[in-house]
Structure 1
């Protein structure tokens, strides 16, 4: 478990300069007077963890610099770095750390006093469920609107239905007797000939059923004969399988031993190559070491010469100062006279002084620009040298990689030769294995067919019959099974397409959801097996991601599946089943697309030919691939980039030198101009100060004013130049020394590697010899077993030939039975269709209120015609049976119609009757009778009703889609919130009991809305030990603080941070509660997290592992200093007692 070791702050708030805060222990207390800067430690932690400025108690980020709050910043930057578990995390680099939990002054009690809604918001932030709040509200609003639309269209549907019923009542008045009579003749004609066809078809069906029963009895007798032969063949086959099992066992042992031997041999070669590479690396590092030592010696010599020159310059300055002696001292009257003359000279030379001042500032600005350019020139020269060093490193790396690539290629070539030697044996073994597996598969297939063929055939036959029945009942709306309606564009995609289709492979495709419901009702009535239906108008098809068509090495599964030519509308179904799935040519492409891309994709690969190499060969290929890639990157990117950078820096250096030359000339010109102005001013001052200079004994007044000041400025300027040069050389020497030490360590590591690898090679040689002996023994055992297998296989083949002859005869018998059963099914389907036609005729007659008289049976057949509704439980067969018992009265039917027997004549007469009824209806519709408006009203109502039904179905589909989307968001939000809430609600009671040191204490978190807790509040109640239940407002300050700490630590346990920072949380606690809290803190610091507490109470911080004392000092503004004390050598009394008990 990691923890915070120390903080390094520089010019951060009250911490001036660079200071180290720490080291931190497991339980730390920060103490100090008010205003000394204790809380700034917490702000520093927040700053290095990436907190915003508003959370660091400042308005602007620049206010974090020490002294900025009084307008006197001590620096242009402030920094904080953190050492965590031995690694240095800097501000801007440590934002991805696990995090830090904390509570500031007064925040603990406010957490306990949160209302229920605020507590819910806090849990939503912690669990991340709040991020789904906006999407949840939008989906809920869309669902409510969709429900309102559905209700509105449902009301319109009810009104339209009522209006339709009323209009159809008016329509009956428009029908005339002639139309009723013609319609009755048509119905009787259809019923008469339908019953004749039903009788003929029933007689034919009975004959077919009798023939099928006779063939089934004959087949059963033949199966008993075959069963005895299979039993004998099975016994012989089991003996053969036992022998094959022994051979497979030996082959498996050989397949395990051979790769081990190859691996050991390749591993030995690999380690030998590593030893050679290590020797070459050692030689190169030795040459680099000599070069580094020479460069380091040159830098040290240059530094010594610089120090020697500075000492000579200092001695020269001292000698010049000694030669000048003491300066001139003025009396008081002379000083007054000097000031008057100085003012007079200033007034006379005001214009000249202004010109001189202007030139002075211009020269100063040019000089500063010149100094900046000179510094920039030094930096560029250093960068050029650094880039050249990098270029050399890249070149050395490229040479090393090229050498490694050549070595690896040689190793791969050797392994390829070894592979070719073993390939022939492997191919022979695979051919033999395929032959044995093929024979075994044939035997197993025939055995399975013998046992399951009859049952599976009956099951598949029943499913085919059901599908044929559905196609006859709904010829234009039931297309068939998906597997029969489409196929891959090439055989190589069959496995991948089968995987993608999955459970939808045998699904039945229909046009609409209504047809699917009718088909399901039919399956229930027929007690058939369940089927999957795909209604084209109901399935939710998502649009294809067109970007996937551009993926190299893969195709959309939709593009490799072609539909039947007579069913182009199936494209929608195929798009629904396949989605955005991809099919790849090779396993390599599949892995690359699935795992190396920016997003995870679902892909499948076809059964292409793959060559599997050994594990070590694959490792060499991978290393060669990445080495080539790195070598190309260095040659094509890194080295040209360094060369371009050096060229760019040299060009910039040339431009900079030209600018320096121009700046130097400009400074000289302005300096000459300024000297001329100064000469004029000096001449004026010489006139004014002539008598005064003679009086004090100096040549001119400037000798008095500037002599000593100029010498001091020159001395300071030289000192700064020396220090800058000295610092640059010292840093460069340190860098070169570090590089040299790193190189020495690397050489030492390489020597150790060489010694280690040489020992490994010796041990690997022994393992290789031992594995070779084991492989040879297994091969000899395998040859003996194969000879036995050949003898046994001959016997099994003879028995198999006899069995095949018998099975062939059985199959011929089965084919005859299947043919008879198919004819029976077709006859049953035709009879079913005739009965359905009769049923539909009666149903239409009932709807049109036609009067059909019965000789036998109930005259009220409305129950039979409408018993298919949800309120009735009579099956379709019962309906057909009752309809068959009806004997209709055909006395009113024209005798000429009864005499027709030929099918063609029946069809012609039927068309003639239908045309007569249709023409009569047209005449009624076109007449000007008073009821004509009723017929027009019917058309209007039908159109209106159709529009209302379409709108209702559309709104129902929209509501269903909105409901699914809302439930997805709701489920995700509930999962995130409940995961956090349930964890905290369980752990908080345990933490509260530990804080109170009493098992009777209780802490309860409860949601006001258990179904959707994030919509309402979360109640938090605590029962303190020895007290009755009361509201949180009625608890004392200390009890509120303990309750809040329990909640804070419970939330922390959900997503624990490595350390916990608390700012004066003990303010409201008495001594008893402080003892409980500190005991809990000590336990937590040793179990789960590091704790840092800012405290002012001795009872609290005396129990910590370490104290960090913060005190303030003043120099222009207040700044903080730190004292630390490690308390671990001074354990608490109870800990001493615990240790003594353990010793006893």
Structure 2
């Protein structure tokens, strides 16, 4: 099989359809300038054969095969090769009957397809076709590329041996050997596994199963004993359930009977309350008819009489006051008359004195002038020493100013003043003695009146006592602050509250039944267990939500933690688990153990600032409130790591946005949950159609409980207090009214009493006495001061030897004062003249006023006599009116006492009504409890029936058969003679033992024991087979090694012979051979048992063998390499060989010889050689020349006629 023709279209540089051919069946050459497309023809052959390594044909992708990669309007590449298949010896398998084969490959749109004789074919089919004739393009021995010859000449001994192995085909043996060795290793592993299984699994298991067999027998016996005990206990439970149902039904009947009694009693109480209401109405009607109207009428009359009495008293007081005023006016007029008379006398005296004083002043001016002159003379005399020092004070005279007086004058003046004060003291003492005597007489008269009448002090004392009592009553009444309207309102409110409380209690009980998951039932684990201290309740009941709009989000935030039961310590939870008789699965949250992961507030605030909205996010904990600080850690544990968000977008940022720095669980108000772990849930948008959330339900239940507590406390306590205050208010009001009336009468009587008048005079005299004593004390103090001054001046006269200098200074000072006094005296003289004129005018005015006053005094005396007679008549009228009022007050007090009796009876009935209402409320509560108890008992009956039915369903067959024997004395089910507690303990122990043994006892031990024994035998058989297979494989491998060495020896010999012949043809007078690396044997003389480890190329020139190829020139080494390659090709011939510029490093003569070798040694193969040297393609029969014209490669063909003739001759 050889190539006849190649058709290229759009392939690499061949843009247009180009036909290369026909090819010579033996020797073809391709030449052309670099880049003209000659190598592309070789690439097209590899392209059609299905090469997978595109880099070997200078391409990176399928598009590289298309002309200019499809950018010049050519979008596909196509290559077709027509093979001449008439030589049947070289024909591929399956195609020997076909004389011509055409293989086409097309690339378009990065897709590739194959055609074989015009029909689609797969790549693998094309590969198989060419592999069958030794043309494997992916491992090409038929393709010798540029540089490959040089690589062979530089190959190591092991690489050259590899080329021989590849040519001999022993590489397949190596692959199979490697696979065989892997199989042997697997067999060894299998053997090891089998031995391990036997030693570590089968044998110990058999030993263990033998022990398990014994344990199983013990387990079976124990299980039978447990079953017997369990059946008896089940029978006891069934029998007890039947008994319990009967007893419970009896209890239900008793409770229903008790309920009927309570209902009857409730009806009786309602009737009694109604009777009380009727009786209260009758008493009120009787009170209003018999007493109320009379008291009201008497009070009205009394008030009117009292007003009249007050008017009379006021008239009397007015008349007395008027008379007193008249008397006072007369006294004042007399006093004024006396004062005017005195004043006139004084004015006359003053005028006379003023005239005298004016004369004196005039004299004094002359005297003062003379005094100044005397002082001057005295100053001169003292200065000259003609006067005695210390006598200058005698010069001063004629002035009230002490500074102008001499010491002698001042002494005389002080003594005179002392005498006046002594006289005044004597007068004051006389006045005091007089007032003391008058007081004594008045007090004696007062005592006489008191002893005779004895009424004033007793009336005054009684008045003071009543006033104190009245003040206290008024204080008590103000302190009481009783509100009658509030009492009426409360009585009405209590009736309404009783109805509301019953409704709220029913609603609360209904909600508790509907939300039974919130009810934590348990029994006290220890005696005296403090429930309030140790068990706080479910988490859901320990806090309140601030706003209902957050309820759904908070409920999702808490999740299952809402149903955790909060206890004080973990020890409490252990006690409840063990002894609390819990009815369902419970999760406890001990306050001393729980911990929280609270998100810091600064992170929340930072996130809010980042979001720009303070209401965008809230920490779930901040949306709830709780009553005790001890729940702080609990609330942090439940809500401290979850954030409630206003929108889904914000929740998504809270959960996943690293910038916010939260990465926390986020829940929207609609219930969407964003978990930082990447889990999202939600989607519920039922809105207002959904029912209340659990937290809303809990909030409503808490509100109902608080309302009920308020019903039972505040209003009722206030009503009880107001009932007490009502009675106290009535009593206080009556006392105040009575005391007020009595005090008014006493006040009128006191005003008319002589003792009262005496007391007033005594008080006046006592005040005058006090003033006189005070003035006396002041005069005595002034007297003491004057005595001290007089004593000082007398001492001064004894000191005549004072310094002259001091005397002169005193004289100078006196001179200045005297001069000033002269001026003053002159001024006073002028003023005195003016004063005398004023006094004379006042005298005339007062004389006229005195005449008028005398006339008025006569008129007043007549008026006083008339007023005294009128006052006497008014006193008699007042006394008569007072007697009438006393009689009326006595009658009113009697009526008020009867009114109080009615009020007390009404109050007693109200108290009885409250007791009945309280009893009715307790009965209603008991009825409600009985109602729930009946429901609970009925539920117990249902539960007992259900449990009995479950027992029948589970153990129905033998229960039905044996139930008549349950409880029968002397039988298998004689429960009376059985110790049930011991049986339960034994059954529990047996069950624990059975459970414990069931974990260790394998009920399949008998079966497994037989299975393991069979497995043991099977493994032994398998081990023998594996050993046998391993021996067979090792034997086959040994045979393969022998065949490989034999084939290598033959290939070595044949390749070695061809190598020497071809090398000597290429290079005259030279030889070459391949020698073994171990022992350096030639191929003909090597021992038969020699195992080759490598081959070396040896070259001979003449008679001298070169030790290494390094001694050769580059061209010689290339010829040696090329000779070895051609020798290998000759050993394993293929129908086609392609050589790409293998002569590049050779000179022309050597190139010529290569062509001769090809023509001589490869007569049955087709060669396609790319070369630029004439020596190579001159031996070719057909020469193809490539050119690059206008960017497109073209091909021309020429035949070498001499070679053609030579070829025909050879044929």
Task: Give the structure-2-normalised TM-score.
Answer: 0.24
From the CA coordinates, give the structure whose radius of gyration is larger. Answer: 2
Which fold has the larger relative contact order, with Cα–Cα distance below 8 Å and residues 6 or more apart in sequence?
1
TM-score, length of structure 1 as denominator length? 0.25
